[in-house]
């Protein structure tokens, strides 16, 4: 064999060994499908992501004592309490560039966007995400729109949808699976209040 032909032979071998065409694509799909988490592993992955992502920071009411703050374990992921009493809104918080205020349980927020409330993420079918399909959940986080509807209201600050929406499908499915596994809590969270209506609620 002439040395000049060696590169061509090596290239042919590499193409043959690496696999190409429909069969190779099928094998890749099989590998991806086999790597998908299911059952307890998927739920555990979702628990890890929700915990390290700090979802409880906003979506779980807090209990305060002289020892500090703790999560209300009876209302995990249930969002802003429907009948929670709130202090008067400081109108300066509605001005861009000023302080953003938080409610006493760190489940509601006042800023230039108005008042926003942390959503109920439990699987309650009426007030939580129990009626949401996996696709609806993922689409909402990808688009930043409530229930993923094209003309729906935006998911309000401080929810970091611009970052969460970049998570992989696998991770979003795991988060959905975990949230579907927690105890449902019936809690109808108020709808956001636009800035021009905030002061009228005082």
Q: For residue 45, what are its two tokens?
A: 């992955």
Are β-strands 108-111 and 101-102 bridged in parallel, bridged antiparallel, or unpaired? antiparallel
Average pLDDT, the chain: 86
The whole-model pTM stands at: 0.79
pLDDT at 185: 98
> Tens of pLDDT along 168-179?
999 999 999 999
Which pLDDT band holds residue 27 (cuts at 50, 70, 90)? low
pLDDT greater than 80 at residue 2: no
Q: Is the model's pLDDT at 9 over the cut of 50?
A: no
Contact 173, 42 (CB under 8 A): yes
pLDDT at 66: 86
- CA–CA dist 4, 83 (Å, integer): 82
* pLDDT number for residue 200: 66
Percent share of the chain, pLDDT over 70:
81
Look at 25 and 149; give whichever has higher pLDDT.
149
Residue that wins the pLDDT comparison between 29 and 105: 105
Residue 15: predicted pLDDT:
45
Please check whether residue 76 is in contact with residue 56, taking contact to mean a CB–CB distance below 8 angstroms.
Answer: yes
Averaged pLDDT for residues 106-126: 97
Convert the pLDDT of each residue in 34-78 to its tens digit: 457 789 999 999 999 999 999 999 999 999 988 899 999 999 999
Q: Please tell me the predicted confidence (pLDDT) of residue 21.
A: 61
The pLDDT of residue 145 is 95
User: What residues contact 144, with CB distance under 8 A and at least 6 apart?
Assistant: 154, 155, 161, 162, 165
């Amino acid at each position: 064999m002439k040395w000049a032909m060696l590169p061509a032979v090596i290239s042919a071998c590499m193409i043959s060994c690496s696999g190409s065409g429909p069969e190779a694509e099928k094998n890749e799909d099989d590998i991806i499908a086999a790597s998908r988490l299911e059952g307890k592993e998927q739920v555990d992955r979702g628990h890890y992501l929700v915990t390290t992502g700090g979802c409880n920071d906003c979506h779980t009411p807090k209990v305060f004592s002289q020892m500090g703050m703790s999560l209300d374990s009876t209302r995990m992921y249930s969002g802003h309490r429907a009948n929670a009493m709130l202090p008067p809104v400081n109108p300066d918080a509605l001005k861009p560039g000023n302080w953003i205020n938080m409610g006493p349980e760190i489940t509601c927020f006042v800023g230039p966007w108005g008042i926003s409330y942390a959503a109920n993420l439990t699987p309650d079918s009426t007030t939580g995400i129990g009626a949401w399909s996996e696709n609806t959940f993922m689409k909402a986080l990808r688009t930043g729109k409530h229930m993923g509807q094209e003309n729906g209201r935006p998911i309000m600050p401080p929810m970091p949808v611009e970052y969460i929406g970049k998570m992989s499908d696998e991770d979003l499915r795991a988060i959905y699976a975990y949230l579907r596994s927690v105890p449902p809590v019936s809690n109808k969270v108020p709808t956001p209040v636009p800035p021009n209506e905030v002061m009228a609620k005082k």
